[in-house]
Amino acid sequence: VLSGRDVLVVDDLINSGTTLHKFCRRLTEYEPKSLKVACLIEKRTSKFKADFAGFTVPNAFVVGFCLDYNEAFRDLEHVAVISDAAVDKYSA
């Protein structure tokens, strides 16, 4: 199905990139014509770099815009770094 086709993998957040790297390596076994990765948020410490990234953020826990911490903060209309106080307050 992927052989000879252009493939674009889209992810919301790349933390370390370990899983995405393994996934892309597996996809290359299907011999796509090209393989590119796009993400909304990429952490600066990520060893795996996306071909297209919306934002690059520091190595911190981010929430908002559908990213949550224990089901909280996902309804924020922006992305923010969660404070230590919020982590303590909303930890399970």
Average pLDDT on 62-72 reads: 90
For position 60, what pLDDT does the model report? 87
Domain range for 69 is 60-92
52 and 70: one domain?
Answer: no
Dihedral sign for Cα atoms in the order 40, 83, 48, 44: positive
Nearest alpha carbon to residue 13 among 62, 51, 80, 47? 62
Are both 36 and 76 inside the same structural domain? no
- 59, two tokens: 């190595």
Nearest by Cα to 59 from 1, 20, 10, 17: 17
Query: Any idea what the CATH number is for the domain that residue 24 is in?
Result: 3.40.50.2020
- Is a pLDDT exceeding 90 seen at residue 25? yes
* 88 shares a domain with 67: yes
**Predicted pLDDT of residue 24:** 97
Please tell me the pTM assigned to this model.
0.80
- Looking at the predicted structure, is the pLDDT value of residue 46 above 80? no
Distances in Å between the alpha carbon of 54 and those of 7, 14, 37, 88? 19, 11, 12, 29
- Report yes or no: 58 and 78 within 8 Å, Cβ to Cβ: no
